[in-house]
Amino acid sequence: MFRNYLKITLRNLWKNKSYSFINIFGLAVGLASCIVILLYVTNELSYDKHHKKADRIARVASFIDFSGSYLELATTSAPMGPTLKNDYAAVEDMVRFRPRGEFHVRSGDTNIKETDIIFSDPTVFNVFTIPVIHGDAETALLEPYTMAISKSKALKYFGKENVVGESLLLDDEHSYKITAIYEDMPPASHFNFEFLLSMETNSDEANNGVWLSNNFRTYLLLKEGTDLKAFEENFKSIKKTYVEPQLIQFTGNGLDEFEEAGNSLHYQLQPLTDIHLHSDLVAEFKPNGNINYVFLFSGLAAFILILACINFMNLSTARSVKRAKEVGIRKSLGSLRKQLVGQFFTESMLLCLFSFLIALLLVELTLPFFSNLSGTHLVTNYFSDSTLITSIISIVLITGLLSGSYPAIMLSGFKPIKVLKGAFQHKEKSKFRSTLVVFQFSVSLVVIIGLLVINKQLEFIQNQSLGFQKEQTIIVHDAYMLSSNLQAYKDQLLNEQEFKSSTVSSYLPVSGFSMNDQTFWPKGEDPIQGNNSSLQVWRVDEDYIPTLGMEIIEGRNFSKERGSDGNTVILNEALAQRFGFEDPVGEIITTFTQNPDGSFDNENLREFTIIGIVKNFHFRSLKENISPLGLFKGASRGNVIFKIDAKNASIALSKLENTWTEMAPGQPFSYSFLDDRFDQMYRSENRVSNLVFAFSVLIIVIACLGLFGLSAYSAEQRTKEIGIRKVLGANVAGIVSLVSRDFIKLILISFFIAAPIGYFIMQKWLTEFTYKTNIGFDVFLISGIGIIVIAVITVSWQSVKAALANPVKSLKSE
């Protein structure tokens, strides 16, 4: 019996090649999208699960609302970890990480800038599963100036694996002895360190006991069965016992007063395996994933598959007249209904299987592209994960069942006498089909609307007046390496015609550069109860404002004279407003000084006179408000920034590099363009836009394939009617509109369903941005006209063919 079904299926597929193509190809695309997304989701969900004790590890996060700035930190204070381990039996172990930025790592003549480098407690190998290949994990990081490095870095610097006992020189300053080599950390991890430096090296800060400064990523290994929520209760007594005394010392007030003044401080535990998808705090190790995107892409993939299944259902029921005869015959020969149901399911399963094989091929072909778009590293290792393989198999089975269900039930229900009467007059049961078409096009439209809004917002960001000029600006990194040649470097290049101006500063209005905030208040007010604000403190020179194209709207810029403007500040409008200065220039603001260990000294205050107001400029993502910022005259030698001539970027770059090699021999030269750095802040939005674009193309292609098939069928069914109409004098245009009209109506209905849904969803998405575009009429106009044009082309392809056919032929064949 199965062979009989198989034969019928294959012969039918062969006979109706275009239907088969639409079905198999559509399902293959649907399945391929699902598989790719499953790989992506599996990868996202696998983060940090390779740590054997992952379910017992949690990170301490700090939430601080103080003087108008709210910080959600992935870090906490230095003493937090050791204190918790010491005071609570539930804490089996803890490890702290303290990044100190990038280092230049030297071995002999090789000197390379390394980013994945961190100070770590020696317990790192106990808490996390990081297999040590050479050296002793227990003792590796106990001593100052010792380091553990990854296998690939060992190979990179020494060309061999076992380099225990060798040394590396950091920033040409400190030599670290290598005590252990560990397996490279897997990519699906929220941190990927290549170098672990012993925390003991940095013992002053690590043991400083300052609770109010939060610079340490702290992970607890909890005893089996510890309830995180219950454990968090302990933070109350931690605050009381340890934090409050320092708060009193610093502000003169206790926790209660602190909170009454509208401030707050609390700590939370984040389960390790939740960090990647659920945590988006300040000072994450790297940009995390986003559970919403996991949902979004899963949803889109599911829709693609559903649309392909709908094509399958639509086309097979459209062809039911043909199949009905077979059903009638089989029934009259003794087939039971359930056998027919079985037959049609066998068919859809087989088709689905073909599609699956093609899908596997498509996945292989498109995965690198998708990995690139989504910024993940995906591999088709289907058997690595049992959930993955069972999910894929279930999806294939469900697809087969789903797409076979409607034809199986509908066709097997035909009454043989009706069908066998000779010419079977099949009353078009097209309502169901129309509903499915409307569904397909509504989904397509919602996706298109989404895509248009995302792109409109990205464009809005590009065109937003930022308050500074990001074009033609080159940032030369690590300017401090020029040491005493810095000024000469700048001067020499400014003599060249390509360079218009230049400034030296560590601070830039894009992410990835220094940020530094401190609390200020107007002179004479109470720092805690009164008018205070946290303020970005940026140390810049007098060329900063002109080079970056910022605008002074009141007062003046810093003057060129060395040593002048020592206690002055240029504020942005945000702070001037916040402090309510009527005429800010000349007013004085005050702050604490800071001790070398990072704690605050509230005895010695510093005062700054406002000399100018700079027009607000965006220095963080447009998702955030412009917060108070002050430019202070002072040395911060992170970067030299050059404004260049538009035409000569490549000449300028080679001059920058050549001069660098002369003046900082042996030091690596690195640079970036300010506008690239700006774009990077919206990388995740750009990625989503690209992915949604790819998916929407697929969705539209599949919906159109279905429409194409249906209109072909409808034209075929109406050949005779069209023939008669032509004989009676109808013209081609009339006939095209006759055949297309019904479909266009469906597309219009889809539009009215999709528009409000799309509007609602995208309105929600836009709330993420403080500075946002509006979803205008244009979005709906473009999406509506676009889809109608696509649909008309798809449909009229067939109807024009039908209309042009010679009527004599179609009438004779009846």
CB of 14 or CB of 777, closer to other proteins: 14
Q: How far apart are the first and last CA of the chain?
A: 34
- Distance separating alpha carbons of residues 340 and 327, to the nearest angstrom: 7
The reply on whether position 11 binds other proteins by CB under 8 A is yes
The reply on whether position 326 binds other proteins by CB under 8 A is yes
The reply on whether position 328 binds other proteins by CB under 8 A is yes
CB of 331 or CB of 772, closer to other proteins: 331
CB of 54 to other proteins, least distance (A): 55
**Within 658-677, which residues bind other proteins (CB under 8 A)?**
none
The reply on whether position 12 binds other proteins by CB under 8 A is yes
Burial 749-764 (b: 16+ CB within 10 A, else e): bbbebbbeebbeebee
CB of 319 to other proteins, least distance (A): 13
CB of 320 to other proteins, least distance (A): 15
CB of 8 to other proteins, least distance (A): 5
Cβ proximity of 234 and 246 under 8 Å: no
Q: By three-state DSSP, how is residue 301 classified? A: helix
- Distance separating alpha carbons of residues 216 and 96, to the nearest angstrom: 6
CB of 5 or CB of 765, closer to other proteins: 5
**Residue 243 CA: distances (Å) to CA of 249, 250, 265, 518, 565:** 10, 11, 10, 19, 37
β-strand pairing of 600-614 with 568-572: parallel
- Distance separating alpha carbons of residues 266 and 76, to the nearest angstrom: 10
CB of 15 or CB of 741, closer to other proteins: 15
| Binding test (CB under 8 A) with other proteins, winner from 77, 251, 317, 335 | 335
The reply on whether position 333 binds other proteins by CB under 8 A is yes
CB of 413 to other proteins, least distance (A): 10
CB of 9 or CB of 750, closer to other proteins: 9
Per-residue contact flags (x/-) with other proteins for residues 50 to 89, judged by CB under 8 A: ----------------------------------------
Taking CB under 8 A as the binding criterion, the range among 165-173, 335-343, 554-562, 600-608 that sits at the site for other proteins is 335-343
- Distance separating alpha carbons of residues 163 and 337, to the nearest angstrom: 74
Q: By three-state DSSP, how is residue 806 classified? A: coil
The reply on whether position 321 binds other proteins by CB under 8 A is no
The reply on whether position 375 binds other proteins by CB under 8 A is no
The reply on whether position 483 binds other proteins by CB under 8 A is no
Q: Going edge to edge, which strands form the sheet with 639-644?
A: 499-505, 639-644, 473-477, 671-673
What are φ and ψ of residue 290, in 5° steps?
-145, 120
The reply on whether position 330 binds other proteins by CB under 8 A is yes
Cβ proximity of 256 and 224 under 8 Å: no
- Distance separating alpha carbons of residues 581 and 555, to the nearest angstrom: 14
Q: Among all chains, which residue has been given the structure tokens 């037959």?
A: 343
CB of 15 to other proteins, least distance (A): 7
Q: By three-state DSSP, how is residue 197 classified? A: strand
What is the CB neighbour count within 10 angstroms for residue 252? Answer: 12
Displacement of CA 100 from its chain's centroid (Å): 25
Name the β-bridge partners of 105: 112, 170
Angle between helices 17-45 and 386-412 (to 10 degrees): 150
β-strand pairing of 629-633 with 568-572: antiparallel
The reply on whether position 225 binds other proteins by CB under 8 A is no
Give the number of residues in contact with other proteins, rule: CB under 8 A: 26
CB of 420 to other proteins, least distance (A): 6
What is the CB neighbour count within 10 angstroms for residue 57? Answer: 25
| Binding test (CB under 8 A) with other proteins, winner from 6, 336, 379, 393 | 336
Cβ proximity of 685 and 455 under 8 Å: no
Q: Among all chains, which residue has been given the structure tokens 């602190």?
A: 258
CB of 446 to other proteins, least distance (A): 39
CB of 10 or CB of 757, closer to other proteins: 10
CB of 15 or CB of 647, closer to other proteins: 15
What the block records as the tokens of 656 is 């920058």
The reply on whether position 696 binds other proteins by CB under 8 A is no
Taking CB under 8 A as the binding criterion, the range among 158-166, 322-330, 378-386, 581-589 that sits at the site for other proteins is 322-330
Name the β-bridge partners of 195: 117, 149
**Within 414-453, which residues bind other proteins (CB under 8 A)?**
415-417, 420-422
CB of 409 to other proteins, least distance (A): 15
Taking CB under 8 A as the binding criterion, the range among 157-165, 328-336, 476-484, 793-801 that sits at the site for other proteins is 328-336
Taking CB under 8 A as the binding criterion, the range among 411-419, 530-538, 581-589, 681-689 that sits at the site for other proteins is 411-419
The reply on whether position 1 binds other proteins by CB under 8 A is yes
CB of 723 to other proteins, least distance (A): 23
Displacement of CA 472 from its chain's centroid (Å): 27
Q: Among all chains, which residue has been given the structure tokens 């089909």?
A: 433
Q: By three-state DSSP, how is residue 299 classified? A: helix
- Distance separating alpha carbons of residues 558 and 553, to the nearest angstrom: 14
Q: Among all chains, which residue has been given the structure tokens 């103080």?
A: 66
- Distance separating alpha carbons of residues 356 and 403, to the nearest angstrom: 14
Name the helix (H) or strand (E) containing 497.
none
CB of 328 or CB of 400, closer to other proteins: 328
Cβ proximity of 608 and 569 under 8 Å: yes
* Length in residues, the chain: 814
What is the CB neighbour count within 10 angstroms for residue 326? Answer: 17
CB of 7 to other proteins, least distance (A): 7
CB of 71 or CB of 420, closer to other proteins: 420
Cβ proximity of 188 and 272 under 8 Å: no
**Residue type (1 letter), 282:** V
CB of 334 or CB of 596, closer to other proteins: 334
Q: Among all chains, which residue has been given the structure tokens 């090699």?
A: 661
Cβ proximity of 311 and 28 under 8 Å: no
**Within 251-310, which residues bind other proteins (CB under 8 A)?**
none
Taking CB under 8 A as the binding criterion, the range among 7-15, 391-399, 662-670, 746-754 that sits at the site for other proteins is 7-15
| Binding test (CB under 8 A) with other proteins, winner from 96, 190, 331, 718 | 331
Taking CB under 8 A as the binding criterion, the range among 8-16, 17-25, 159-167, 367-375 that sits at the site for other proteins is 8-16
Taking CB under 8 A as the binding criterion, the range among 174-182, 333-341, 404-412, 790-798 that sits at the site for other proteins is 333-341
Taking CB under 8 A as the binding criterion, the range among 159-167, 208-216, 323-331, 652-660 that sits at the site for other proteins is 323-331
CB of 4 or CB of 774, closer to other proteins: 4
**Residue 132 CA: distances (Å) to CA of 115, 144, 146, 158, 320:** 21, 19, 15, 18, 65
Cβ proximity of 484 and 519 under 8 Å: no
Taking CB under 8 A as the binding criterion, the range among 87-95, 400-408, 412-420, 434-442 that sits at the site for other proteins is 412-420
| Binding test (CB under 8 A) with other proteins, winner from 337, 426, 637, 687 | 337
The reply on whether position 329 binds other proteins by CB under 8 A is yes
**Within 497-556, which residues bind other proteins (CB under 8 A)?**
none
Closest by CA position to 441, among listed 692, 743, 695, 709: 743
| Binding test (CB under 8 A) with other proteins, winner from 7, 223, 240, 286 | 7
CB of 5 or CB of 370, closer to other proteins: 5
CB of 7 or CB of 52, closer to other proteins: 7
Taking CB under 8 A as the binding criterion, the range among 31-39, 327-335, 367-375, 442-450 that sits at the site for other proteins is 327-335
| Binding test (CB under 8 A) with other proteins, winner from 325, 500, 687, 725 | 325
Q: Which residues bind other proteins (CB under 8 A)?
A: 1, 4, 7-8, 11-12, 15, 325-326, 328-337, 339, 415-417, 420-422
